[in-house]
Amino acid sequence: MSTIDIFQMISIAGRRLLQVCGLIMVASLFFACSTQEQPAERPNILFIMADDHALRAISAYDKAYNLTPNIDRIAEGGIVFENSFVTNSICAPSRATMLTGKFTHINGKTDNVSRFDSTQWTFPGALQQVGYQTALIGKWHLRSQPVGFDHWEILNGQGHYYTPVFVTAEGRKSEEGYVTDLTTDKAIDWLDNQRDKEKPFCMLLHHKAPHRTWMPDTTDLYLYKEVNFPVPDTYFDSYENRRAAREQKMSIIEDMDVVYDLKMLDKEGELKTKYRNAFQRQYDRMNEAQRKAWDTKYEPLIEDFKQKNYQGKELALWKFQRYMEDYLATINSVDRNVGRVLDYLEANDLTDNTIIVYTSDQGFYLGEHGWFDKRFMYEESFKTPLLMKLPKRFQKIGGSVEALVQNIDYAPTFLHYAGAETPREVQGRSIHKIIDGTENNWRGSVYYHYYEYPNEHMVKRHYGIRTDRYKLIHFYNDIDKWELYDLKNDPEEMNNLYDSPSYQETIVGLKAQLQGLQELYQDTDRSTY
């Protein structure tokens, strides 16, 4: 074979190779164009959050006190996170953490007093950038104007149960009605009439209830009439070897105001309490029909209370029952309205492509250790409910999940499912691998830091670490006390083991882990400890 023949053969082979490559390139271009024209459907996100909703007051977790059939609909076929925690158990800082995926010392909102910089990166703004319509309806409580939302209608400050004030970019307006109903009305109206239905949506539906002062809707006033709620075993806790727990001001027995909290607003004005006038202003927000219904319920209770003149243990037990009746009645309104939104999704064929989340900004005490409110790193306030139901293409597992998750994880999780990038400075982790059952290297501990002292409830500043078994807490500032709990043997956290000789090796290991978490989360400014 001549040299010319060889070159001809090479030339023919080369042309054929180019033809094949060209076909591959054309095919690749065709499929790429097809993918761009028909992108995978991105899920909607409905993020429902209540305020101060105790985990034990959701029947998907515990049926001891009440039933929440509509909230439980999210759990049915969805996921119940058994170990969901906050990073700072107080309203506004927790909200800032969820928005940013960062601890409060990083996002700047360490307490309820400071103003949140809403111009910083948040997940709703990031979702906007990738084509989502975003809406915020209900409680904001961050002292700044919301940023990153196509639509927002927020409650003024903490919000009012009756005739609440809603704030928009155009101004503020009082609206007659009950706050949970009105908030839900606005959410459904936006979903039905205002959004661009060609785009995926992310709605933050954030209720005021069941925040203090626990004022039920008139339709729920008699829901728990004559119900005798079981008193927690730790209700009369003496706080032995737990100084910080002893020095708080959130005791039902000592600090719960019988007028402001328990509605004993007598017409004679004989019950003079610290916050009487504050509750009078809330009562005055009702219209005539609402006040009539309210008085019909509470006036006999007020008369009975004054006649019996409870003292000591009897008063302590009476206050617990009154507190629970009103607190749980406000939750019934939340549950009913969650049902309205879920019904809307189903009626409009949105359920199968919507991630539905129910949570609270933190946990709450239902008499455990004799308390109401939150703030402490103890389980009842540190733990928060988290229920999620996802489209079938995402969710491969269901039922209870034991993984240690925190509210820093919400933002990166939402972004993952939306197909958006999470900035490196976000401190949380997407939980999508837990949800699809492929995670085998999840965190073994969570970190907590509470700052708001001194304040009304006088809970000391503290930080700590929790693993699947142990919890180590350091109270600091005007105090220097450590506490250790073995949650396996002492789930109610009554026995501080910090000085126990048999746990000293455990403490050394936990302190090393604690320092590692502080470095990981950049909470290393020891001048504040």
Q: What is the pLDDT of residue 32?
A: 34
> 56 in helix, strand or coil?
helix
User: Is 80 exceeded by the pLDDT of residue 22?
Assistant: no
Cis peptide before 216 (omega within 30 of 0): no
What mean pLDDT is predicted for residues 179-196? 98
User: Is 50 exceeded by the pLDDT of residue 50?
Assistant: yes
Tens of pLDDT, residue by residue over 67-117, are 999 999 999 999 999 999 999 999 999 999 999 999 999 999 999 999 999
Strands 201-206 and 133-138: parallel
What mean pLDDT is predicted for residues 175-202? 98
Strands 470-475 and 165-168: unpaired
Strands 354-360 and 399-401: unpaired
CA distance 161 to 215: 6
CA distance 525 to 529: 8
Domains, in order of start, for the chain: 44-214+323-440 (3.40.720.10), 224-321 (no CATH)
User: Is 90 exceeded by the pLDDT of residue 278?
Assistant: yes
CA distance 514 to 472: 8
What mean pLDDT is predicted for residues 472-488? 98
Determine which helix (DSSP H) or strand (DSSP E) holds 320, and give its type and residue range: helix 312-347
Q: Are 153 and 182 contacting, i.e. CB atoms less than 8 angstroms apart?
A: no
Tens of pLDDT, residue by residue over 222-233, are 999 989 999 999
What mean pLDDT is predicted for residues 29-57? 72
Share of the chain above pLDDT 90, in %: 91
Q: In this predicted model, which residue has the larger pLDDT, 7 or 423?
A: 423
Q: Are 362 and 211 contacting, i.e. CB atoms less than 8 angstroms apart?
A: no
User: Is 50 exceeded by the pLDDT of residue 414?
Assistant: yes
What mean pLDDT is predicted for residues 443-458? 97
Share of the chain above pLDDT 70, in %: 92
Whole-number average pLDDT of the chain: 93
Report in angstroms the alpha-carbon separations of 143 from 20, 101, 146: 63, 19, 9
Q: What is the pLDDT of residue 3?
A: 35
Q: What is the pLDDT of residue 529?
A: 74
Signed CA dihedral, 519, 521, 527, 529: sign only: negative
How does residue 371 score in pLDDT terms, banded at 50, 70 and 90? very high
User: Is 70 exceeded by the pLDDT of residue 253?
Assistant: yes
Q: What is the pLDDT of residue 525?
A: 87
Q: What is the pLDDT of residue 283?
A: 98
- The number of residues making up the chain comes to 529
CA distance 350 to 348: 6
User: Is 70 exceeded by the pLDDT of residue 496?
Assistant: yes
How does residue 18 score in pLDDT terms, banded at 50, 70 and 90? very low
- DSSP structure class, residue 234: T
- DSSP structure class, residue 323: H
What mean pLDDT is predicted for residues 235-246? 98
Six token digits for residue 25: 């390139």
Tens of pLDDT, residue by residue over 141-167, are 999 999 999 999 999 999 999 999 999
Helix (H), strand (E), coil (C) string for 386-426: EEEECCCCCCCCCEEECCCEEHHHHHHHHHHHHCCCCCCCC
User: Is 50 exceeded by the pLDDT of residue 37?
Assistant: no
What mean pLDDT is predicted for residues 56-62? 98
Beta strands in 19-63 (DSSP E): 44-50
Q: Are 470 and 446 contacting, i.e. CB atoms less than 8 angstroms apart?
A: no
How does residue 306 score in pLDDT terms, banded at 50, 70 and 90? very high
User: Is 70 exceeded by the pLDDT of residue 12?
Assistant: no
Helix (H), strand (E), coil (C) string for 447-461: EEEECCCCCCCCCCC
Report in angstroms the alpha-carbon separations of 292 from 284, 305, 491: 12, 20, 45
How big, in percent rounded to 5, are the helix, strand and coil portions of the chain?
40, 15, 45
Q: What is the pLDDT of residue 40?
A: 63
What mean pLDDT is predicted for residues 337-361? 98
CA distance 317 to 307: 17
